[in-house]
Chain A
């Protein structure tokens, strides 16, 4: 499993070179060996996975193929409602989120033949950029023990990197797919707002929440997005646009694609090794046929602030009950964030929503008249040591975490598709990554760019040793 991509595993299963049961057993062996350190799971469902695998194996023997993910083991962030398993949302309450319909995106993956290995660790209520969790344990970075895996979809990113499953579902309100992908050296895609249904997933901020895939390769993410994307009556914000085949154009190359390297905001205050990694990736993309130029962007600070205000206000209303009735159940930094949201007036919230519309129109119109893709860092500083984070005060911790998501959050406000792609390693052995951003609903271009880069650079072929 650790040496196979999702696409490779799906092909092997289809060719009967490996059975779904064998695939699950391989994953379980790795999980049993290493998850004591990684802590990717909140609830491992080994029996459920093996039962599903046996059913899929019987189907395969009879020539019945459920879909493109037949027999592929997957993991789901523990804010996705799935029948038969509690949904803690990273809180200490096992069934914090209960009683609703199943998560549409997760159900689509399972209906396509995917196998659920269980529910994945995350920061409490998806509030947090590092992957720490006082209730379920801090998720550890598979590449360097004792370092942050990124959050909030921490178990999703670390689990893919550790080879516990072939792909995972994460959610992203301010960077929570892209940050763990960047920290753990895997691909993470936040689709356009409206491309993937959020129905059946815990709400943090209905204006900013997105669901998306994390996987080893761009091709794997494309395979998952093919299944996850599309309109859903259960989520009125989903777009009715047709879903293209995201794998179809992957090998088309990037000749002539215009890439913009931001001259403002996105490289300011960024660690030199990280910035150099992104610029090196830009040169490699240029060598593959892209045209790279510096671009000055409309100041993202305004959208950053507006996004934060909207997120704080909405999160405080959604999670008001636990904050009011059981505040002692919440980690201090989560309480602080929810408290902040209660002080935002309706006037400011509504003006922020109006500003978001104006800023998005201006950004899309101005930027994508000049370039096809923006290229930025994902994180501004190297993955911190968990011990350093734990020794900080709640206020200092929150301030640092806010800075950690300053390169990803503007694209939640803008609703644009954004992908995190591994691009090498620091001298300390931690993954480097770049973020690519495209026009609304142009996930195909992002996946093609990421695939072209990965095939040329080959850094996705290196795996963490875990020892």
Chain B
């Protein structure tokens, strides 16, 4: 399969958001990205 062109023009990038945004919960916010990392399973040696 040919990889899709990753240098999409801004219009195509807007299309990405249109395609996916219906799946975003109302409560979602950017800061939850850090929470997703910090809330991951503790690695050995971490406190």
Contact = CB atoms under 8 A, between A and B. Distances in A.
Interface of A: 192-194, 237, 239, 241-242, 244-245, 248-249, 268-269, 301-302, 304-306, 308-309, 312, 340-341, 343-345, 347-348, 350-358, 360-361, 364, 368, 380, 395, 398-399, 401-403, 405-406, 409, 415, 438-445
Nearest to B13: A309
Contacts of A239: 37-38
A361 B32 contact: yes
B13 A358 contact: no
Contacts of A356: 30, 33
A439 B14 contact: no
Contacts of A442: 41, 43-44
A441 B46 contact: yes
Contacts of A301: 4
A439 B44 CA distance: 11
Interface residues of B, number: 39
26 contacts: A192-B37, A237-B34, A244-B43, A269-B2, A302-B16, A304-B6, A305-B8, A305-B16, A312-B13, A343-B9, A344-B10, A348-B14, A351-B17, A351-B21, A351-B24, A354-B28, A357-B33, A357-B35, A364-B36, A405-B6, A406-B6, A409-B6, A415-B33, A439-B41, A441-B37, A441-B46
Given A244-B43, A357-B36, 9 more contacts: A192-B37, A268-B3, A309-B16, A340-B10, A354-B28, A364-B36, A380-B3, A415-B36, A440-B36
Question: 3 tightest CB-CB pairs across the interface, nearest first?
Answer: A244-B45, A402-B6, A343-B10
Residue in B1, B38, B42, B43 with the greatest tally of chain A CB atoms within 10 Å: B43
Contacts of A345: 14
Contacts of A344: 10, 13-14
